[in-house]
Structure 1
Amino acid sequence: MSKAKRLIDILLYISAKKKFTAQEIADDFNISVRTVHRYLLDLSDMGLPIYAEQGRNGGYTVLSSTLLPPILFTEEEAVAIFFAFQSLHYYRDLPFNTEMKSVSQKLYDSLQQEAKKKVDTLQSYIAFWNPKRTIETPLLTDVLEAIINQEQLHIQYESKSGITTKHVQPIGVYAHDGLWYMPALHAPFEKILLFRIDRIHSIEVSDKNPDSTINLQQWLESDYEPQQPIRLYVELTREGVRQCLSEPNLEKAVVRSSDGTGFIEMMIDKGELHFISSLFFRLGQHAIVKEPQELIQLIRKQAHDLLSIYPEQRDI
């Protein structure tokens, strides 16, 4: 048996046993005690925290450690994990960013030469691209730690109305389009609101709440129910259909006709009108809003405001 294989077997053995003697290893692996001591020194040099206890009843103890025993991956599995890390390459801020770079480098270094060539080639042709944001998210790790500890927070949050203090119970974080978001139960309204983490200026732990009513996965998979439902009906040209199919919030609601045109008919929350008004204003004649009247008025106001900036020039 090779030394490398023997070391792995002993590492798995002592990681499970935690407390042991050199004689026990010698007996179980049919090797000399002197060889055991040599192997233990090698494992200690590799970073395994082994503590030697002196005396008649002495032995060895593996101290509490975050080191994991070896996991054997196939070459294809290692390449897949490497590219999973690469998919986050375009995010400016990541939790555990240093550790992820370290793991990625270890995986790459562990590959055989042919596999490294494959990875190098694939990197020239595959990219999990996101717009590389210049916006910093300095509190991302702090927010994530608070979520893991199930803590309620007072946050200083920047919105259209300025910087205000909000009392929230975060349920998780997720990344989208190069930015990080935090859905959280907003205490005054007892409903889940969405906060951009880069807009959080400060956080302060206010309390612990072990009885969270919903987690991130449940929230993401839950059916959307508008708090103030209002009917949206929009007629779309062929170009309007194409554009709306690229919008995640509208894609499922687009109904296409045989000639390529279509329409959107769905219930939305009244609080979203300002958000979607900008979208339909941008689509112009390719998306004709029929309902609700409040949305039509918002689009008219946007058009009026734009015309006031660019008044018609009269010939003198």
Structure 2
Amino acid sequence: MQKSQRLIQLIMRINAKPSFTVGELAAEFGLSTRTITRDLQELSELGVPVYSVQGRGGGYRLLRERLLPPISFTEGEALTLFFACQTLDYFGALPFGEGADTALHKFYHYLPADRKDQIDRLKDRIMFWSPFRPMSADILQTLLQAIMTNVVVTITYKSGSGESERNIQPIGLYANSGYWYCPAYCFSRGDIRQFRADRILSAAPNESIPSRADISRKTLSDKPDKDRLEQTILRLNLTPKGVFELESNPRIAPFIRRKEDGSGTANVQIAAEDLSFYADLIWRLGGEAQITGPAEAIEYMRQKLEAVRRLY
């Protein structure tokens, strides 16, 4: 076996079992302990995070951050991954630490010169824009780690009613309009709730609370079941532009009934507790959409209008 192949296999072996001895590796590879020791020293010099443990039961261990063996990419695949990382540039924070930046640098560094020139010509000509929303990268990383390890997190959450401490079991993370959201089971409320990450003031793993197996099986594709909650019908009149704006909204689009002149109506069944959320969504359309019911939604809009009128 060539030395380069042996080193690659050593990396794979070390990743599979982070704690090992030179004797174990020598027996497995059919080599002397002196050769294995030299190989480990060379891997360490190349950046593989291996360190020795002295004393009884000692040997070698791998630091937490493992290295993958070399992976071959075509130029097209490398470009795809390069621009995939660039889509994250405008987020205020990411749950991946500096991983995206370092991966982007590596892909760029090892691309052929002509491909680098092509990417340089695309700078400021292709942009994956997202509104900048400042938030804590540490909190995002804590939530991501909790999802991967299936542990409960204790958070301090700021809502309209003030700050509160919650124990939550995160289901996932997703981004929308620059914000990160974390659907999670809230042990305080006994239900699945939606948490906006920038409103989480602190977050720490809490292994004293066992995670729920049924929650750990859920994904972001599992929508909260609100049929058991009190329901109401949001009734809308829409101008042609209002129809155009809401046809791309999956919450409302299925209920739109278009008229011959391009205008339309919509009767949307929603949970009563979500009424203000939907009213705020319609508010952004100005005169292109009118809420005709229920009365609570109309009153909510009047209060918003009055608040704006007082400002001017």
Question: Relative to structure 1, is the Cα distance of residues 234 and 46 closer, same or farther in structure 2, using a 3 angstrom cutoff?
Answer: same
Residue 98 (structure 1) shift? 1.6
Q: State how far apart, in whole Å, the 1-side matches of 2:149 and 2:31 are.
A: 43
Residue 191 (structure 1) shift? 1.8
Q: Do the aligned partners of 2:97 and 2:141 also contact (CA within 8 Å) in 1?
A: no
Is structure 2 residue 276 aligned with structure 1 residue 274?
Answer: yes
Residue 40 (structure 1) shift? 6.9
Is structure 2 residue 255 aligned with structure 1 residue 253?
Answer: yes
Q: Which residue of 1 aligns with 2:121?
A: 121
Question: Relative to structure 1, is the Cα distance of residues 254 and 214 closer, same or farther in structure 2, using a 3 angstrom cutoff?
Answer: farther
Q: Which residue of 2 aligns with 1:290?
A: 292
Q: State how far apart, in whole Å, the 2-side matches of 1:38 and 1:308 are.
A: 77
Map Cα deviations across residues 208-256 of structure 1 (whole Å, 9 max, x no partner): 4343323586343437644322112211111211232354543443333
Matches within 5 A, 1:147-162: 147-162=147-162
Matches within 5 A, 1:158-197: 158-197=158-197
Is structure 2 residue 2 aligned with structure 1 residue 13?
Answer: no
Aligned residue identity for 1:220: S
SS at match of 1:172: coil
Q: Which residue of 2 aligns with 1:47?
A: 47
Q: State how far apart, in whole Å, the 1-side matches of 2:90 and 2:97 are.
A: 12
Question: Relative to structure 1, is the Cα distance of residues 236 and 156 closer, same or farther in structure 2, using a 3 angstrom cutoff?
Answer: same
Q: Which residue of 1 aligns with 2:100?
A: 100
Question: Relative to structure 1, is the Cα distance of residues 238 and 7 closer, same or farther in structure 2, using a 3 angstrom cutoff?
Answer: farther
SS at match of 2:98: helix
Q: Which residue of 2 aligns with 1:70?
A: 70
| Structure 2 alignment gaps of length 5 or more | 15-23, 53-58
| 263-272 or 167-176, which deviates more | 167-176
Aligned residue identity for 2:74: T
SS at match of 1:169: strand
Residue 261 (structure 1) shift? 1.1
Query: TM-score by structure 2 length?
Result: 0.79
Highest Rg: 1 or 2? 1
Question: Aligned Cα RMSD in Å?
Answer: 3.5
Residue 75 (structure 1) shift? 0.8
Matches within 5 A, 1:25-40: none
| 188-197 or 298-307, which deviates more | 298-307
Q: Which residue of 2 aligns with 1:146?
A: 146
SS at match of 1:80: helix
| 213-222 or 229-238, which deviates more | 213-222
Q: Which residue of 2 aligns with 1:55?
A: none
Residue 125 (structure 1) shift? 2.4
Match of 1:228 among 221, 227, 230: 230
Residue 138 (structure 1) shift? 4.4
Q: State how far apart, in whole Å, the 1-side matches of 2:42 and 2:242 are.
A: 66
Q: Which residue of 1 aligns with 2:265?
A: 263
Residue 8 (structure 1) shift? 4.1
Map Cα deviations across residues 252-309 of structure 1 (whole Å, 9 max, x no partner): 4333334221222221111121122233344343212222222122222323343444
Question: Relative to structure 1, is the Cα distance of residues 149 and 93 closer, same or farther in structure 2, using a 3 angstrom cutoff?
Answer: same
Number of residue equivalences:
294
Is structure 2 residue 86 aligned with structure 1 residue 86?
Answer: yes
